[in-house]
Structure 1
């Protein structure tokens, strides 16, 4: 099937090239408009208790959340001149942008000023029913908040979201500016010719363009988080380079063996192209696992990643072979002086490494598994948070404002719970208030409002909203008897609910990944044990990656070098890292096993087939991992802690998976399996043969009997 497709692309190469370029370039130009549609919303679970509290407070009590918090500092905030200036500034804000406003000078609430009267607050609820609308409302007032002669600092949910969106967009430009030139240089070094090196980069750029078109199309009816574009860029460029590296490498290998360009294209697509299709399918399914979660920000990243990977694979199976057919032997143009024409050496470093693994498989497997398990240990003590101002760099003004407010105005910080009591009489409210005040971590209980039998209470909590103490306080508040219905919301409750929603969805995601891996890898290789081994290896690699991330980002070891603040990690970002790492693990596994199976079907023993596959693909897998590490490493330079976590996590996973796991542990385990590695029950083997997904035309008789 794939060989026939490669031949068809060669015959219609100019038509295929034209269609691919028109669709990706035209769609990408239109897709650039997605940047005006991106938001920082979508972190809440619409079915959660905290989300329900927000709806009741706004719709039944008529109180909109304070999305902008302004901190004013002066020698004396009670000074009439200060009061006049601040009040005039707030009165001048457009009514079209401000839905509600509460400030110290209009209300004289003691909680809105510090005891020494040097600081005071004003809070603004923005107009709009969506995250995008509220961010646009904030843009109308952002430049009008400064007050002459009074130090003015702005914080709150929406300004923080806007700052994160702007920083994310800026980081995206910087990451591309850094990664693309370095990647091209490395490809020239790896391939030895400028023309061959430029092809994967071209496919990567077009993959990003195409994914932008998909995201803009989705943004017409869905809320797309700003991180979706970062993920699309990371995976679009990274996977296109990986796929291009293997496809172009195989094409040149066939040319060197004496094939014509048409034969080389057909053979490259029948082998490397088939592997690209399988690995991309697995990665898309892995990212699709994010769709089981109810939060739009995880769904957004799934959309971005799935579109980028799918387009990278499609271009690698259409535009890339068309270009190779047109170029023919000219793919070798622009050769660099150090280029070597000979292929992988059987007696080179990888060959000697393979021999060592084949001689001592038990030693290698045992030592590597032990190391991976040790690396995973820190993750057993991990705690989880959500996106807040601490994702911004330490010197960011929005983060500094939030920290000042949290210190001086605990009731206005994000670590404040909102409790709703329904069907509770006055005596019950008083009793609930008294008991709630005794809960560890509760700083006090104050009335927030009441209407139609619903009483709202404000409960500021001590410390950080993502801390175990705040989580326990939320749980205790929800379990406190009241004689009626108790609902707890607010930022600490949303943090707890988000983790609950993610933890509830993880088994479904894991089940999807495992089932897809088992089925697709069986159809690809006709073995029962190899897919099971792939799942176990990926789980080990992912666990070790999580352990390293916990060691750095939460425990703080080396945090100073990365300029990050030790804190609970975002569960959503860890889920994304898990999906991508699992997909990449099976990606490299597929590339390796494809050549092992190919060698096995020529009549080689299992030991010799593993060695041959390792020699043929080992250097290429290492090169692919290095290139992807450069792409993700550029994102690791982001000033947003969440993006830095993704970048560092990917680098760690790639270093572990493409070297220790894929080049040492996997061959050692297959060597221990022996011929049992190729076993499958007769009915399943017949099913795999009927599926027709194997490109092996003359299966070895001995293999059929195993």
Structure 2
């Protein structure tokens, strides 16, 4: 990077900027679906019914309200609405059903005091199941639905998806406009100089551009959910700034020892750079664990996250060292007064406070370890009663038109809302199910606890469909248990029974996540244990790291459950309490575990470095804290600013992620990393650094640990054994 610095600078800048320019088109290719298991019974039920009867669920729902206290049964009003609906282009609309075409009482809202005021129109678009085409089709007709003199509300899958898309893009722009200036200001305060502070922000911006380009490329091969861009932006900017902070900090440290810029660049990449690459690998593996689930949403955010982290690391290991090579000692140009004073201090003097903290903790390790572990476990207890749902219109802020329409539909049109179970009976060998058997099965469904209003809803070819009102809220345990009971009923002879609907879809999605979760844990934990052993040469340190991350993770989810599900403080965050979206919880688990391990790697690398030079257990721990305490705390604060900007997002899902990241980072970088880790290492004693002889020799041959003893001749870079 030093020898080819100008070539690297130009190439990296061009690739990322051109990638970002091309990647800006990704927003038109993002999807809204993918939250369910595509192979589940609930989805199979929908596909089976659609194949036999045509698409049954409308994409756009319009509620028309009669003006001035009138009635929707006014023939002139009905003619006016029908004429408007008939003008919709057939190229975008395949089917329109309204109360004024087929006077079905289910499509009329009745009010005892005012009479009939509201009626329903359901529009099916020609896009089929392609959510991108559906959103484009909706954009072409949304302004053609209003009727002069008639109040209307527009909702349904397409308008809700469009609203989520728009809100997500606004959230992304707002978050970056808020986070970048504050981050730059904090970096100026941390580094004490404008030039040094600008470098991590530059790397972060280029990482985001590169991520957009890669995501745009991915849309040519796989579906990418709209939240993948938000996750890529969050992680790309956050991790690039963190990596930049570590790299620039190490470079300045090397310059402070009197080394020439060339040697300082080489040592920076070989020490901090090696740790950056190692940490990014762990985080990418954690995000790759999401690919084990069938939900397209989790796969697409995994693509976005992996792309962002990988590009952030790549830019940090190429463009940033080249920039440092060009700047040399000018990296401290435009320094502020306190930086000039700090430049006269040694690294040991700057880290004296952290060293004292570590030594104080290790004098009374039980006094710190026991209350902290108990507190983290206590914070995690609300998660034991967590319930899970799916992404609905409630992720939009209260008052959003699409959400208001959905609430009106569920309240005033209960028989046509999507809260009911959709039951599909498919006959054998292309024959329709026997009518008498169907009627008997309807009676059996009606006997299921809490199930009411079971009735046929359609018939065609070899399929008969039923709807059944489930007990309680659509996402409640009662509704899910009713779905299980219906599925356990004996089907009519020569008939397959499939149960769909929102409750069934959520149940199937949870089952898929439950089935995939052990494999994800195995991949993430297994990779962490193996890679951290190869880095640190210890058997127990990786196990300790996994346990520390699990404690931090459980406390974070406990607080999130207490707020977002139980509603404590929900008004302050302007969110509607409700079941947690299981996919977002799994995403958060992967990200938080990866970030927690990330800070562990930076801290332990300096501890192991000191231990390899013969330092005692306590001295190694204190030295590691002294060298990294300020940097890790600064990195956590910066990442809190970047991710915390999403805590004010319009979409509840991103607000959940933003608040969760703030909690996780605050806990991990302070209580866990700076207090609990030194206490536990003191209690473990020299056993913390132990490894069997054969494994130790394997680790020494691989030699991926960070080492401070780098000679001019690369061949002499033999790793020191950890005793």
Query: Normalising by the residue count of structure 2, what TM-score does the alignment of the two structures yield?
Result: 0.94
Q: 466, 487, 505: which one pairs with 1:478? A: 487
Looking at structure 1, the residues matched to 353 and 250 of structure 2 have their Cα atoms a distance apart, in angstroms, of: 21
The equivalences for 1:231-250 within 5 A come to 231-250=231-250
* 1:446 Cα deviation after fit: 2.1
- 8 Å CA contact 1:287–1:579 kept in 2: the answer is yes
Aligned equivalent of 1:136:
136
Aligned equivalent of 1:118:
117
- 8 Å CA contact 2:49–2:463 kept in 1: the answer is no
SS in 1 for 2:153: strand
Looking at structure 2, the residues matched to 111 and 529 of structure 1 have their Cα atoms a distance apart, in angstroms, of: 65
* 1:347 Cα deviation after fit: 7.3
Indicate whether 1:154 and 2:154 are aligned: yes
SS in 2 for 1:459: strand
Compared CA separation, residues 496 and 618, structure 1 to 2 (3 A): same
* 1:637 Cα deviation after fit: 0.7
Aligned equivalent of 1:608:
619
Aligned equivalent of 2:104:
109
Aligned equivalent of 2:430:
none
Aligned equivalent of 1:657:
668
* 1:702 Cα deviation after fit: 14
SS in 2 for 1:516: helix
SS in 1 for 2:498: strand
Per-residue deviation, residues 2-25 of structure 1 (Å, max 9, x unmatched): xxxxxxx11111111122112111
Aligned equivalent of 1:449:
458
Indicate whether 1:495 and 2:490 are aligned: no
Structure 1 range deviating more: 422-431 or 626-635: 422-431
Looking at structure 2, the residues matched to 319 and 505 of structure 1 have their Cα atoms a distance apart, in angstroms, of: 38
* 1:481 Cα deviation after fit: 2.2
Q: 31, 34, 37: which one pairs with 2:23? A: 31
Query: Normalising by the residue count of structure 1, what TM-score does the alignment of the two structures yield?
Result: 0.96
Per-residue deviation, residues 202-235 of structure 1 (Å, max 9, x unmatched): 0000000000011000101211111010000000
Compared CA separation, residues 503 and 609, structure 1 to 2 (3 A): same
Looking at structure 1, the residues matched to 270 and 5 of structure 2 have their Cα atoms a distance apart, in angstroms, of: 17
- 8 Å CA contact 2:446–2:454 kept in 1: the answer is yes
The equivalences for 1:307-346 within 5 A come to 307-339=307-339, 340-341=342-343, 342=345, 343=347, 345=349
- 8 Å CA contact 2:34–2:225 kept in 1: the answer is yes
- 8 Å CA contact 1:415–1:462 kept in 2: the answer is no
Looking at structure 2, the residues matched to 426 and 444 of structure 1 have their Cα atoms a distance apart, in angstroms, of: 18
Indicate whether 1:373 and 2:377 are aligned: yes
Q: 39, 42, 45: which one pairs with 1:50? A: 42
The equivalences for 1:181-220 within 5 A come to 181-220=181-220
* 1:350 Cα deviation after fit: 1.9
Structure 1 range deviating more: 287-296 or 40-49: 40-49
* 1:504 Cα deviation after fit: 1.2
Aligned equivalent of 2:439:
430
Compared CA separation, residues 472 and 372, structure 1 to 2 (3 A): same
* 1:439 Cα deviation after fit: 2.9
Q: 371, 377, 388: which one pairs with 2:392? A: 388
Per-residue deviation, residues 39-96 of structure 1 (Å, max 9, x unmatched): 2111221110011111111112223421111111112000012101110111010111
- 8 Å CA contact 2:351–2:630 kept in 1: the answer is no
Looking at structure 2, the residues matched to 695 and 106 of structure 1 have their Cα atoms a distance apart, in angstroms, of: 74
Compared CA separation, residues 306 and 428, structure 1 to 2 (3 A): same
Indicate whether 1:352 and 2:344 are aligned: no
* 1:443 Cα deviation after fit: 3.6
RMSD of aligned alpha carbons: 1.7
Looking at structure 1, the residues matched to 93 and 535 of structure 2 have their Cα atoms a distance apart, in angstroms, of: 59
- 8 Å CA contact 1:602–1:700 kept in 2: the answer is no
Per-residue deviation, residues 83-114 of structure 1 (Å, max 9, x unmatched): 01110111010111112221111111111112
* 1:332 Cα deviation after fit: 0.2
* 1:447 Cα deviation after fit: 1.4
Aligned equivalent of 2:58:
66
SS in 2 for 1:556: coil
Looking at structure 2, the residues matched to 282 and 554 of structure 1 have their Cα atoms a distance apart, in angstroms, of: 31
Compared CA separation, residues 364 and 473, structure 1 to 2 (3 A): same
Looking at structure 2, the residues matched to 172 and 344 of structure 1 have their Cα atoms a distance apart, in angstroms, of: 40
Indicate whether 1:404 and 2:408 are aligned: yes
Looking at structure 1, the residues matched to 162 and 650 of structure 2 have their Cα atoms a distance apart, in angstroms, of: 15
Per-residue deviation, residues 281-301 of structure 1 (Å, max 9, x unmatched): 000000001101111111110
SS in 2 for 1:445: strand
Looking at structure 2, the residues matched to 592 and 534 of structure 1 have their Cα atoms a distance apart, in angstroms, of: 11
* 1:508 Cα deviation after fit: 0.9
Compared CA separation, residues 462 and 124, structure 1 to 2 (3 A): farther
Structure 1 range deviating more: 489-498 or 520-529: 489-498
Q: 73, 76, 90: which one pairs with 1:78? A: 73
SS in 1 for 2:577: coil
Per-residue deviation, residues 536-556 of structure 1 (Å, max 9, x unmatched): 111111011110100000000
Looking at structure 2, the residues matched to 220 and 63 of structure 1 have their Cα atoms a distance apart, in angstroms, of: 27
Q: 638, 656, 668: which one pairs with 2:679? A: 668
Compared CA separation, residues 98 and 559, structure 1 to 2 (3 A): same
Aligned equivalent of 1:5:
none
- 8 Å CA contact 1:414–1:492 kept in 2: the answer is no
Per-residue deviation, residues 517-553 of structure 1 (Å, max 9, x unmatched): 0111011111110111111111111011110100000
5+ residue gaps, structure 2:
428-432, 711-715
Indicate whether 1:93 and 2:107 are aligned: no
Q: 594, 598, 602: which one pairs with 1:591? A: 602
Aligned equivalent of 2:367:
363
* 1:701 Cα deviation after fit: 13
- 8 Å CA contact 2:456–2:467 kept in 1: the answer is yes
Indicate whether 1:415 and 2:419 are aligned: yes
5+ residue gaps, structure 1:
1-8
* 1:344 Cα deviation after fit: 5.4
Indicate whether 1:546 and 2:545 are aligned: no
Looking at structure 2, the residues matched to 629 and 673 of structure 1 have their Cα atoms a distance apart, in angstroms, of: 31
Looking at structure 2, the residues matched to 20 and 443 of structure 1 have their Cα atoms a distance apart, in angstroms, of: 63
Compared CA separation, residues 84 and 224, structure 1 to 2 (3 A): same
Looking at structure 2, the residues matched to 529 and 546 of structure 1 have their Cα atoms a distance apart, in angstroms, of: 26
SS in 1 for 2:30: coil
- 8 Å CA contact 2:63–2:121 kept in 1: the answer is yes
* 1:463 Cα deviation after fit: 4.3
* 1:672 Cα deviation after fit: 1.3
- 8 Å CA contact 1:410–1:460 kept in 2: the answer is no
Per-residue deviation, residues 325-363 of structure 1 (Å, max 9, x unmatched): 000000001111232222453774322211211101122
Structure 1 range deviating more: 170-179 or 501-510: 501-510
* 1:412 Cα deviation after fit: 2.1
Looking at structure 1, the residues matched to 376 and 210 of structure 2 have their Cα atoms a distance apart, in angstroms, of: 37
